[in-house]
Structure 1
Amino acid sequence: MADTPIRFPENLRPLEPQGPDLLADERKRATFDPKELTEIIYGRDYLVKRDRILKILTNDPILGDKSHRYYTGRDIRFKKSLAAAKRMVELIKQHNWSNEELGIADFLFDESGPFRLHRSMFMPTIENQGTEEQKKLFLEPAQRYEIIGCYAQTELGHGSNVRGLETTAVYDTQSQTFVLQSPTLTASKWWIGGLGVAANHAIVMARLISNGKDHGPHPFVVQIRDLATHKALPGITVGDVGPKFGFNTVDNGFILFDNVRIPHIAMLARYSRIDKNTGEYIKPPNSKLAYGTMVYVRANIVLESRYVLARAATVAVRYSAIRIQGSDAANPKEITSSNTGKKVPVETPVLDYTMQQFRLFPVIARAYACHFTGQEMHRMYVENQAKMAQGDFSFLADLHASSSGLKSLTTTMAVDAIEECRRACGGHGYLLASGLGQFYQDYLPKATWEGDNYLLTQQTARYLLKTFRSVRAGKISTKDANFSSSYMFEYLSEPNARCPATSATDFDNPELLLSAFKFRVAFLIDKAVAMLDEEQRTWNDMLVEIYRISRAHCQLLMASNFVQAVFSRQDDRNTRALQDVARLFCLFTLEQEVADFLTCQYLSPAQALLIKQQVIVSLGKIRPNAVALVDAFGFPDYLLQSALGVSDGRVYENLAVMAEQEPLNQRQVVVGYEEHIKPLVYAGKHRWNIHKDGSARL
């Protein structure tokens, strides 16, 4: 007789009141309509596209089923990710998706696959840095997926320090080829997404050497595998780096070159090139042109951080509204059961506890702060691109410095938020079924790629220190001031300014809050300049202070963008809800960083206590809107893959269903029992009592 799967009794239901009723009660208490806010966040056109693409994905035989993700090992998941990548290409062609529509599909499917870097790095790099001839030769077949590419920059021994890359590309004028060489083990390209298994081409960043002179890292398009057999070409050693903490549906790879010759046209030559006959190096028109792409990438990372923060908050806030624990005897509560129609008493939802609010509501606030900051970064990127096209690079340095620091700050916040939300879900948060564990694993690399989060802050601080020196020396006028130099002018005009607040409610004033952020960062910059220039401290000695400066500057940026976005809007119920969230973001950040504000003496200890009081007041204002604020991000269950954050509130039913899907539960008796358990049990068989029904008990 075949063994049967383990199933929960179908007649059992959760204890009243049930999740759907608890969530419905939460949604009735909101002061605004989350659907209206969803449209404000995304725009109607985006939502129409998203809903259309969501329907395609959920009904697709390959992409529609994500149930295997929490139950299978890397080998099965990667095989399925290859099938999903192929299917996504078929859908791109079938529906003629634009880049925006493909981005929506990728976001909803929520699994980085072996073709992700082909789209996000390989093709855009050729588009931005290739000549028209190179685009025809490499980009057009890549767009048809006739070649699959990746972006090979990071090496085993060098990551953020791009200038230290060891791979060389030596130009040979006689054969008119470049010779690629990996001179050491640490020159191995490492961590390259898509390289381990899928890619047959790579953009390789290598030190360009011509006529005996080293011109630093430049990009080369290199075929690495045979298009017919997919085997590595002669002189190339390539493979996968092995299992990782997460992100295991991507084949991060390594590659080494042993005197591999590539043609002259392989060097991407839109900005700089090698004369084919003489080997002469022709410099780019401006060395800063590459920064524009970096700003774009980092602006996208800031926008992505809003989704990460909002997604983690969605799961934890919805679950905290459904998880009832303890009773408030002073304020007993009842709700009507949709099953029985009767009033039923409600234990206290954990979302009513102030400590839970203190953990979760700032995550919501940070999600919205990242949303408005990411939008502003994109607007500034577009404006800067237009300026650079006219030969004006004056805007670039400030934008690049801010984008570097924001990448560091927002990804750090997002990583921390996922873990905080997981813990706030208690024991059930530890299940992969919560939707937070694997999410954390897969997002974690963002803290180190596209620039390590601590190294990046040096780029931000170096620019701010230079700007401060120029402002103080009178080299920048107030009419030419940008965001950074403007708060430095304010500080230098009144270096002994103090916060005028005398009551907790004074800290509801957004301009007062922003003044505190401005003074703090300018003070930190002033003292750092003094330590470097007057006390002759080394840069290495100052790295902790430099990190604090970058963090302070970017927190000011986020607070300023958030305040500007929501306090300049027409007053309505959505605006008022967002203003409460903006105040919480500023107040909570002030409280978390209070040591800096006390050190610069802009705040007094008494004022710091008032801020703490006002944070608790702000939590109370947001409490009725908590579920609505996460609902407004509009994440479908298909994306969340979370039993705890399910939109209809059926948490316990979904936990049971997901437990039933566990492979260990597909048999009453586990494979391995006969070999590993039965011999031990049989050793004591003389103590058994055999019953009439055939069962044996001690």
Structure 2
Amino acid sequence: MAEIFEQEKKKINFNPKELQRFFYFNSEQIVKDVTQGFQDFSANPKLTIQPNFHSMSRIDQIKLSGETLKEINSYKDQKYNYNTSLGKMIGEFQFPFVIPSGVHQMMFIPTIKYLGTEEQQKKWLPRIYSYEIVGCYCQTELGHGSDVQSLETTAEYDVSTQEFVINSPSLTSTKWWVGELGVWANHALVFAQLHIKGKKHGVHPILVQIRDLKTHQPLPGIVVGDIGPKVGYNVKDNGFIRFNNIRVPRENMLMKYSKVSKDGLFTQRGNPKIAYAGMLETRLGISCLFHRSLGRALAIGVRYSLFRKQFKTSDGVERQVIDYQTQQEKLFIPLADSYAFCASSSQIMSRFAEFQKEIEGGDFSNLNEMHIICSGAKAYHTEYPLAHMENIRLSCGGHGFSHYSGLPSIVEGFKPLVTLEGENTIMYLQVARFLIKGLTATLKGAERVPSSIQYLKAGLDFVETKLEADTISQILDLDVLKKILVVNATYQIKNVGMKMQKLSLEGKTNQQIWDTLIGIQLVDAAKAHMLYYTFINFYQQIVTNDYLSENSKTILKQLCRLFAIAKINEKPHGLIESGFINPSQISLLKQAQHSLYPSIREQALGLVDAFGFKDEQLRSALSISDGKVYETLLDWAKNQNPLNESYFAPGYENIQKMGQITPKPLL
């Protein structure tokens, strides 16, 4: 059946290599490195995961993940060492589990780089890169997660010994959910309430050794372990830890911006929020890398929908599932989103590189906006992909329920991302707070408004107008869609701002307003902003990247249109309430959405092949490149399933013994 894919490839009218570059941050070098990496990993049996992986116990899976990390870090003269961004990127796509050093690399190391002094970095980083020190990011507690300021773990400074004394004063102060803590880590960056001479100085990170470097046994006063199986991420050893009078040298507090002198004097420079710079980079990684797992799900879903045939047409020919409009909607909206998130990620990464140079030069003026961009993208780039992945799994019918489809592990592996490193609702509320402040500044005519919300000035004029569009072709104009999204975001931000003002005049406190009266509207406003922000990034990436041919730009513009229109149709209430659009235009928007499906259908295989994933990264019988879907399913079930190694399955003897029991008569 491989000829099906060959026939589909003949329909492709753009260069998939151009879109692969678009997918990987517009970088030819990254495409080259990732392509070579996929080939190298696939050629190594120790780095190719077999279909029986999901029949293994959790303990055996964790053991395999450790063996895999060791192999990666020694393979090809350490070319793909997990200290490199390339190694992390290949590993994310190659394995159905997270590599043990993910937190060590993405949170522990960046925090030390951002917050550690030059002397501390020279002292610790060589040992960290060599894995002599394996670290974790010890912030979340049993009783507090997103509310960092309410963390209960304490670090009392003892002036007489120049040490911090770390304690877990309550049950709820137990550190919880900490990745790499349960099994692997021997050090932890512990975020604790700093107390000096009876005075509190907020939450600060302190490097604490928690296990013996030779025996790996917990040190005296440390109670540590794994928190147990979860929904997804079961290979990740999320752990708990409690501290009982653990003494740590003063020099182990990260002191680039906050310092404690020998005699207990606390000083601070720069923006206090820089303390969360490590988390900022983690959110950047989540928002700009991990959503690409949606591309894997799409590659499986689209290829299987091209292969699978169900129900005959009037001339007796079975129809490809992908030719049903309902199936197209399940696949093409996620496809549009995937490209939109990739384009927006490229913009965000470029902005973050500029931001890093700014803070290195002591300029913290854009820290808050960068924090909001990363937080908003983290929420937006995980909420939609997770929903899409599950819908893609469902679109594959019964076979999508099998681990051999590759889809359940993608869904399960992605689920934690909507919660970890910032629960998404909290992220949206942080964005909303930024938007309300930005709206106030815009209304007051402030000279400097953050670049990401400068559209509000034009938006405040647009909301007083009506949409002039009477045909589908007018609706599909990208500049018209841009205006619609500006109005959608501006109206919702303005509307919730006015409601806040009204409630305040009625005597409601800010806490009442935010917590119990307008939280849902604030989240909606934040999502409307992120929709516009993602769209405009997508649009600009299409227009400004000169390596894209006209045919590539044409299909990308179709996806950009679908991204915008599908989101508008999903939640048009702001546009309706504002009076900017009328009922007939709502109907036009729906028609416009459906009109995009046929052109995307013709290019669907090329659009997912452009992601560059091979069989070894997809790990799916449903998308196998030789087209032998059913043969592969039967082979894996028959020959890769331990239950079929014997016709006398373990436990069956109990069924046999039941025959010796005289059954009670049914009443």
Q: TM-score, normalised by structure 2?
A: 0.93
In structure 1, distance between residues paired with 2:485 and 2:105: 39
Which residue, out of 32, 48, 56, partners 2:14? Answer: 32
Query: Residue type of the partner of 1:238?
Result: V
Query: Residue type of the partner of 2:8?
Result: E
In structure 1, distance between residues paired with 2:462 and 2:8: 47
Alignment of structure 1 residues 263-282 onto 2, 5 Å: 263-276=249-262, 278-282=263-267
In structure 1, distance between residues paired with 2:616 and 2:60: 21
Q: Greater shift after overlay, 56-65 or 517-526?
A: 56-65
How far did 1:654 drift? 1.5
How far did 1:309 drift? 1.9
Task: Say if 1:369 and 1:558, in contact at 8 Å, map to a contact too.
Answer: yes
In the other structure, the counterpart of 1:54 is 38
In the other structure, the counterpart of 1:692 is none
Q: Cα distance 1:392–1:145, how it changes in 2: closer, same or farther (>3 A)?
A: closer
Alignment of structure 1 residues 474-623 onto 2, 5 Å: 474=445, 476-477=446-447, 480-536=448-504, 538-540=513-515, 541-569=517-545, 572-623=550-601
In structure 2, distance between residues paired with 1:131 and 1:656: 58
Which residue, out of 399, 404, 407, partners 2:370? Answer: 399
Query: Residue type of the partner of 2:569?
Result: E
In the other structure, the counterpart of 2:53 is 69
In structure 2, distance between residues paired with 1:92 and 1:206: 41
In the other structure, the counterpart of 1:371 is 342
Q: Cα distance 1:96–1:32, how it changes in 2: closer, same or farther (>3 A)?
A: closer
In the other structure, the counterpart of 2:439 is 468
In structure 2, distance between residues paired with 1:281 and 1:349: 69
In the other structure, the counterpart of 1:99 is 84
Task: Say if 1:318 and 1:649, in contact at 8 Å, map to a contact too.
Answer: no
Gaps of at least 5 residues in structure 1 are 1-17, 333-344, 685-698
In structure 2, distance between residues paired with 1:386 and 1:450: 24
How far did 1:402 drift? 2.6
Query: Residue type of the partner of 1:624?
Result: E
How far did 1:290 drift? 3.8
How far did 1:567 drift? 3.5
Q: Cα distance 1:588–1:494, how it changes in 2: closer, same or farther (>3 A)?
A: closer
- How far does the alpha carbon of each residue in 1:349-406 deviate from its partner, in whole angstroms, 9 at most, with x for none? 0100001101110000000000000000011111222333444433332332232122
In structure 2, distance between residues paired with 1:596 and 1:493: 16
Which residue, out of 24, 28, 41, partners 1:44? Answer: 28
Alignment of structure 1 residues 144-543 onto 2, 5 Å: 144-276=130-262, 278-290=263-275, 292-329=277-314, 346-474=317-445, 476-477=446-447, 480-536=448-504, 538-540=513-515, 541-543=517-519
Q: Report which of the two structures shows the higher radius of gyration computed on alpha carbons.
A: 1
Query: Residue type of the partner of 1:671?
Result: P
- How far does the alpha carbon of each residue in 1:246-272 deviate from its partner, in whole angstroms, 9 at most, with x for none? 211111110000111111111111111
Q: Secondary structure at the match of 1:128?
A: helix
Q: Cα distance 1:393–1:116, how it changes in 2: closer, same or farther (>3 A)?
A: closer
Task: Say if 1:22 and 1:322, in contact at 8 Å, map to a contact too.
Answer: yes
The count of residues paired between Structure 1 and Structure 2 equals 647
In the other structure, the counterpart of 1:341 is none
Q: TM-score, normalised by structure 1?
A: 0.89
How far did 1:620 drift? 1.4
Task: Say if 2:538 and 2:560, in contact at 8 Å, map to a contact too.
Answer: yes
In structure 1, distance between residues paired with 2:276 and 2:178: 21
In structure 2, distance between residues paired with 1:597 and 1:68: 51
Q: Cα distance 1:183–1:526, how it changes in 2: closer, same or farther (>3 A)?
A: same
Q: Cα distance 1:569–1:62, how it changes in 2: closer, same or farther (>3 A)?
A: closer
Q: Secondary structure at the match of 1:407?
A: helix
In structure 1, distance between residues paired with 2:285 and 2:661: 63
Query: Residue type of the partner of 1:513?
Result: L
Q: Greater shift after overlay, 582-591 or 421-430?
A: 582-591
Q: Cα distance 1:290–1:258, how it changes in 2: closer, same or farther (>3 A)?
A: closer
In structure 2, distance between residues paired with 1:29 and 1:346: 21
Q: Greater shift after overlay, 102-111 or 167-176?
A: 102-111
Q: Cα distance 1:96–1:489, how it changes in 2: closer, same or farther (>3 A)?
A: closer
Query: Residue type of the partner of 1:26?
Result: E
How far did 1:130 drift? 1.2
- How far does the alpha carbon of each residue in 1:587-608 deviate from its partner, in whole angstroms, 9 at most, with x for none? 1111111222212221111100
Q: Greater shift after overlay, 664-673 or 262-271?
A: 664-673
Task: Say if 2:144 and 2:150, in contact at 8 Å, map to a contact too.
Answer: yes
Q: Cα distance 1:320–1:378, how it changes in 2: closer, same or farther (>3 A)?
A: same
* 1:114 equivalenced with 2:90 (yes/no): no
In structure 1, distance between residues paired with 2:544 and 2:124: 47
In the other structure, the counterpart of 1:693 is none
Q: Greater shift after overlay, 280-289 or 356-365?
A: 280-289
How far did 1:144 drift? 1.0
- How far does the alpha carbon of each residue in 1:83-135 deviate from its partner, in whole angstroms, 9 at most, with x for none? 22222233386447461332233224322132222222222221221122222
- How far does the alpha carbon of each residue in 1:283-314 deviate from its partner, in whole angstroms, 9 at most, with x for none? 13222434554443323222224412211111
In structure 1, distance between residues paired with 2:521 and 2:630: 48
In structure 2, distance between residues paired with 1:79 and 1:593: 46
In the other structure, the counterpart of 2:649 is 670
Task: Say if 2:304 and 2:396, in contact at 8 Å, map to a contact too.
Answer: yes
Q: Cα distance 1:215–1:319, how it changes in 2: closer, same or farther (>3 A)?
A: same
In structure 2, distance between residues paired with 1:400 and 1:108: 27
Q: Percent identical across equivalent pairs?
A: 35
Q: Secondary structure at the match of 1:535?
A: helix
- How far does the alpha carbon of each residue in 1:551-585 deviate from its partner, in whole angstroms, 9 at most, with x for none? 00000011111112113455521111111111111
How far did 1:539 drift? 1.3
Task: Say if 2:438 and 2:450, in contact at 8 Å, map to a contact too.
Answer: no
In the other structure, the counterpart of 2:665 is none
Q: Secondary structure at the match of 2:272?
A: coil
In structure 2, distance between residues paired with 1:494 and 1:121: 42
